[in-house]
Structure 1
Amino acid sequence: MSLKMTQDQLAEFLVAEFPQVAGDFAIEDVGENRIRVRLVTEERHLRPGGTVSGPTMFALADVSVYLAILAMIGPRALAVTTNCSIDFMRKPAAGADLIAECRLLKLGRVLAVGEVLLFSQGVEAPVARASLTYSIPPG
């Protein structure tokens, strides 16, 4: 299966459909069943102690899987998360961007399963691991 949306098309889709958060995410690379997305962290993404909040890390993982799916199936705005599990393993570095490395493990007609490793910029070990399942609307 080949890509149905390019990196630029995904970025344009995000701006058109989710303008309220599109500026938070930068798509760095997209390929078959994989994507890398950066969250440019700002003060509003932090929790007490100066680290990136859990909800912010969830958002990055969720958006990454969503975009990886759309890259493969085309612009279907109504694909929705049906399950998510996150393991928070390390405290992200203060002030560093977060980078999501996502790969799709299964892409079926109705369901997709993705895995995401979240990294704090400049740190080799992941700060979190997420597994998400999406429901894909009929084409």
Structure 2
Amino acid sequence: MKQVILNFPQQFAKGLKAAEGVKLSCPFTNIIVCGLGGSALPGSLLPELGVKFDLPLFTHRDYGLPKAANEKSLIICISFSGNTEETISAYQEAIGKNYNAIAVCTGGKLEQMAKENGLPVAVVPND
């Protein structure tokens, strides 16, 4: 775990590079980061590091979506493996409600669902 934390800057840089090709067009009213463990860190850690967002930012670590989610939300579902049950549940709900969802993963079911639904996915290298 210590090494994971120490490697966070490099992991974050890889994530940003993987997300470069993701195109978004909707004016969003909030950002919801769905993930567990280290995958939830961007939603929790960035504000703590002083990164400012013009929109409310929520971190969701559970099944489904929080009440704040709506058709104007940007929902970012993060799972390193792409197979985290709670994150997949949130992503499925977002897809079912036709919300703006992005998947971030190294592969797994999350990547498969994004591709099947023609939704943006940032595939992060698994190294």
TM-score, with length taken from structure 2: 0.30
TM-score, with length taken from structure 1: 0.29
Larger Rg over CA atoms: 1
Q: Where is the helix percentage greater, Structure 1 or Structure 2?
A: 2
